[in-house]
Copies of this chain bind each other. A is one copy, B any other.
Amino acid sequence: MEGDITARMGNLVIQIGVLLFAVRFFGFLAKKARISSVLGELIAGVVIGPYALGAIPLPGFPSGIFSLNSVSLAVTPELYGFSIVASVILLFASGLETDLALFLRYSLAGGVIGLGGVVASFLLGDVAGMMVFGCGIMDVRCLFLGIMSTATSVGITARILSDKKKMDSPEGVTILASAVFDDVLGIILLAVVMGIVAALSSEGGQVSIDGVKILLIAARAFGIWLVFTAAGLVFSKKIANFLKIFKHSYDFSICALGIALLLGGFFEKQGLAMIIGAYITGLSLSATDIAAIIQERIHGLYKFFVPLFFAVMGMMVNMRELMSKNVLAFGAFYTLLAVMAKVVGCGLPALGFGFNLKGALRIGCGMIPRGEVALIIAGIGLTAGILDEQMFGVVILMTLVTTLFAPPLISASLSINGKGTKKEARSTDNVAFTWDFGSDEIADLVIDIFLKDLRSEGFYVQMMNISDGISQARKDGISLSITETESVVKIETSAEDSGFVKNAMYEVLIRLGNLVQDLKENYVPEKINFFDQSEVSRTSSDILKLFAPDAVSVDLKGTTKEQILQEMVMLLANSGAVRNWETVLADVRERENIMSTGMQHGVAFPHGKSDAVTHTCVALGISRNGVDFDSLDGEKCKVFVMIVSPKKTSSPHMLLLSSMSYILRDEKNVEELLKCPDAKSLFEKMKEFAARKNNS
């Protein structure tokens, strides 16, 4: 089989190519239907996978593009390898978003509520298995059913809260905090379960070892988790400093991922799950100063890999098995328990933290969606032979149903009138500020500085999901949610904190503005030696062609900057290139308003790019009396060269500008121009200068 490696690799790249499009197409449909894009990607895998369209013969693919590899592994090991690396990236990024140390200070309620949900989910999931299989609580299948239902996928809830402006409500804040804990607890429980499963499997399966031994195994697994997590947190700064040896941010970010892969592999070798190591690595780095950089630098890898993972999981779904009566019935039962587990497991403790029934219901509903972690663990169970195709189908069903039906449930619970807290602690009137920064880069920059500032104010900043662009920052009673959509930044907070948001954003903008101002001031013409007389310059011979003899005047009448600009645009119109002079004037004025183009020796170069000209055109004008043009040297301007180029087609705009400024840097040339009695001689003189420079 490996002899035909070239053909296998050909198939691999085609499979990945097809998947990259399919996940985006189905992700797009999912978004339109307002459901989670993860679900779309999963369904993409189901639809084009080996159990559905993927097996249809096509030219060049006698058994389909995604032919069934084997019963135990539906896709090829090569493709599966990509999905495994994807799962490591997913959990690494998830850990990276969790600043545990800082978090612990802020939310006891989150911890207890998260714990309630995890414990209830695990127990009910396990019990579901016991009832269906009629076996003991320590049966590996039951343990898997338990562990698979623990981890909430809070991204969906976060999006709904954000849409409904409830991220900063007491319920919203608590849900998001609980989800952080839920992740951590789920990972610990996974370590314990994997440890037990590994031990049980090596003993030949089922319940053959006694309670004490199981406790020891569980303790060992928990111990490994604890040692690495503690070491990671204690040495996080050292690890970060080690990574910084690789100076470039891409290099150290990829090496951080390298650690996640290595630790993942180590946990795998220990019989624990790979994702535990990946998560611990992320968690350890989350409190360091490079966390945000790593997140950004691996964003492209995340967007490439992670959807592949969900699609590959979808490919493992045997549609026929999924639709069998048994699977549907078991699935419905399992799903029901999974929903109840969170509603009760999280809702009950919530009542003890100042929430009333409404609030508890909202929190419970918010924790219902399951997602990525359930799928990863199900994949592990399937390939390890612990879960059969039917049970795998059951988990997929549970994931589908909880993510599909949680959103309307969450929305409904949020729409119930009335506060969710027992005492009226604070106003929950929220306000939203929206800024459009015009460009993605500027928006990124602003958000970067803003979040950095918040962290330095002692805020706990939680990024919801690397692909959502939603973040939340909390400190004591204050909470802000920050959403970035392309160039638009939206910050929501309660009305009483709006002053803080404005102040903070104002300082960010002032600093950003100053940064750029600094740059600009360091490179003003004088400083960059614009007028260094010794300097040589070239003038392209093409330049002469752009001069129109009609666009020249030795007798400009204007006495103000604005009048001169108007007159010059009118001259320009004589060159035949101007479609709409008012637009051209507006475009030139815009450039002039930023900074005057008046240079030295009474020369100014008003210029600009405009959609209202057909090609680059030049006008030349002289004002006998001179006009105040805010020149660099303060002198009145007498010689004006206006250059306007089209915005969209390529044109030698800057080349022309630098040639002209080179010619007129020479005071003698300026004097000669001023001596010209009429437009014709002025035009000839200018041509002469240009030609002379060109030949020199």
Contacts and interface: CB of A to CB of B under 8 A. Distances in A.
A5 B654 contact: no
A304 B303 contact: no
Interface in A40-54: none
A33 interface: no
Interface stretch (A206-214, A333-341, A532-540, A552-560): A532-540
A106 interface: no
Interface stretch (A154-162, A292-300, A324-332, A576-584): A292-300
A301 B301 contact: yes
Contacts of A437: 519
Contact of A5 (B77, B515, B525): B77
Interface in A511-535: 511-520, 523-525, 528-530, 535
A84 B12 contact: yes
A478 to B, nearest CB: 7
A511 B438 CA distance: 13
Given A17-B262, A250-B299, A499-B658, A383 B458 contact: no
This chain: how many copies in the complex? 2
A439 B515 contact: yes
A441 B441 contact: yes
A650 interface: yes
A16 interface: yes
Interface string A124-159: 000000000000000000000000000000000000
Nearest to A438: B515
Interface residues of A, number: 134
B73 A650 contact: no
Interface in A11-36: 11-14, 16-18, 20-21, 24, 28
Given A427-B536, A498-B535, A650 B457 contact: yes
B653 A13 contact: no
A651 interface: yes
Contacts of A538: 477-478, 496-497, 500
Nearest to A458: B650
Contact of A17 (B24, B259, B512): B259
A540 B506 contact: no
Contacts of A512: 516, 519-520
B13 A84 contact: yes
B506 A14 contact: no
B523 A435 contact: yes
A519 B513 contact: yes
Contacts of A448: 441
Q: 4 closest A-B pairs (Cβ-Cβ)?
A: A14-B265, A17-B261, A20-B258, A10-B268
